[in-house]
Structure 1
Amino acid sequence: MSSDHQHRARKRFGQNFLHDHHVIDNILAAVAAKPGDNVVEIGPGQGAITEGVLKATEGKLNVVELDRDLIPILESKFNHYPDFKIHQGDALQYDFGELVKGTPLKVVGNLPYNISTPLIFHLLSYHEHIKDMHFMLQKEVVNRLGAGPRDSNYGRLSIMVQYYCQVQPLFVVKPGSFHPVPKVDSAVVRMVPYQTLPFPAKNIKTLEKVVRQAFSMRRKTLRNTLKGTVTSEQLEALGIDPSARPETLTVEQYVKISDAVS
């Protein structure tokens, strides 16, 4: 394992390594890490973004990497930074609360497509301890994260993420910026958890259930998709048209429905 080039990107880990310096600089500028920041990078790969973050934080960084074969590469590159720590393991199972230690986290990652949605939901469970998140994702996922009502990309992911965070799609990244070259465009997104939730639900599990049920059949009306959970009369009492489609309602309206049935 002497050189980087001997590490083949692994399909099962969904690895695509970023090598475009212009894109790397744009990501680092968006993250805007500085000394004293508590940054955690998920899936550093061969360290394309890692180096710039370490310079910005004066050497303090935690990384979570699943692929054991990458650990020696990262160690040999960055071990001269005393506060560089590698946590080998699965980010989906990782307790990010361990890293907080009184300073909220800035989370950065070029996330493998196959785990991006469950990983975002896992991180949202720590939303009170997160300052911001910057992710490289499949462009279509970023479109869904940032979509508003009446947009065809708007759905369960949009609502549950926007319940917790302000979402700002930043820029698109073409496949040629990676090795191996993925088949789809990527995009970088910024997610900033609210310090005070704008529309807190009485019961988050009920909200999740209502939203999942509403979008189980996108083309049907709320009257049909939410049958058994909420009546047309209850919807009308909340000022919501029972014949509306699921993608026309705001986050606030879904919280109203959830609170009415919880």
Structure 2
Amino acid sequence: MNSSPAFQPGAKKHLGQNFLHDAAVIDRIVHAIAPKPGDTLVEIGPGQGALTFPLLRAHGALTAIEFDRDIIAPLSARAGEYGPLRLINANVLDVDFTALAADAGAERIRLVGNLPYNLSSPILFHAVDHLAAIQDMHFMLQKEVVERMAAEPGSKVYGRLSVMLQAVCNVVPLFVVPPGAFRPAPKVDSAIVRLAPRDPSTIGIEHPKVFSQLVRAAFGQRRKTLRNALNGFATSEQIVAAALKPEVRAEQVSVPEFIHLANIVARDAD
């Protein structure tokens, strides 16, 4: 009689669980990731292993971060069929990716995962904080979030997430995943996106904290002009010095222009 721990039926709504089951979609994701010998793969939220086991089969080893402790034992037991799986039972926002890379003896890790919709932005910003230790990221997210990540200036969905990610990564939407690929089926489309960190020497952000604060303030009230949105943070003179018009709105300002303005503000504060 098989006494191996089994996955509990159903998903936990409060954890935002939707389990991927479409084999064709899973194959496309593994192909997009294209794991190579020597890669250190880290999966966020393996769930019941829909992507974990194919990645183990393709690559041979994997680290996975899972918050739901009820999943740990059955995931570990089943993984034995495929390859060594290191499981970390933790909230991903508490995991130090830089330390994780060092512990694995890797210069950089490759992050993958089907991110819970209610935590996608915090996880993305957390990853950005450890970008020097990350080779690339392949995430499944709500399609609407991926559109925001990749949006260009002038778009209605261009905002803080667009600027903060595009400033430090190349953001490449790959393909859409329909609701039917999951159990239970979500009410929205999902999409796979690739984020590849930019060469640090090409980014040009002189003071990351000032840049982050400025972008947050600029998009804090989207309908306001830069002059009004940045009142108390950047002067009209600084905005003009960045070759921008004080009366434009944040959604019309490109990523390089935000970087230039933030650098001016940071230098003037020194």
* TM norm structure 1: 0.95
TM-score by length of 2: 0.92
Check 1:236–1:98 CA distance in 2 against 1; reply closer, same or farther (3 A cut): closer
Equivalent residues of 1:9, 1:17 under 8 A apart: yes
**Identical amino acids, percent of aligned pairs:** 47
- Secondary structure of the structure 2 residue equivalent to 1:240: coil
1:33 maps to: 35
CA distance in 1, matches of 2:137, 2:120: 13
Shift of 1:252: 1.1
Q: Which residue matches 2:166?
A: 162
SS at match of 2:35: coil
Deviation per CA, 1:72-96, whole angstroms, max 9, x where unpaired? 1111111355632111111010112
Cα RMSD between the aligned structures?
1.4
Deviations 1:115-151 (A, max 9, x none): 1110111111110111110000011110111111111
Report the equivalent of 2:10: 8
1:92 to 2:93 alignment: yes
- Of 6-15 and 184-193, deviating more is 6-15
Residue 252 of structure 1 corresponds to which residue in structure 2? 256
Shift, 1:233, TM fit: 2.2
SS class of match (1:63)? strand
1:58-73 → structure 2 map (5 Å cutoff): 59-73=60-74
Gaps of at least 5 residues in structure 2 are none
1:214 match: 218
Structure 1 residue runs of 4+, over 3 Å off?
Answer: 1-4, 80-83
Partner of 2:264, secondary structure, is: helix
C-alpha displacement of 1:243: 1.2
Q: By how many angstroms is 1:18 displaced?
A: 0.2
Deviations 1:157-206 (A, max 9, x none): 01011111000011111111100111111111000011325332221111
| Cα displacement (A) at 1:2 | 4.6
**CA distance, structure 1, for counterparts of residue 19 and residue 50 of structure 2:** 8
Do the aligned residues in 1 keep the contact of 2:205 with 2:263 (CA within 8 Å)?
Answer: yes
Structure 1 residues 12 and 255: CA distance shift in structure 2, 3 A: same
Give 1:7 deviation, angstroms: 3.1
How big is the shift at 1:104?
Answer: 1.3
Q: Is residue 57–residue 83 contact of structure 2 (8 Å, CA) maintained in 1?
A: no
Return 5+ residue gaps in structure 1 as ranges.
none
Equivalent residue letter for 2:75 = L
Q: Judging changes above 3 Å, is the alpha-carbon distance between structure 1 residues 199 and 3 closer, same or farther for their aligned structure 2 residues? A: closer
Count residues in correspondence: 260
Q: 101, 104, 108: which is aligned to 1:104?
A: 108
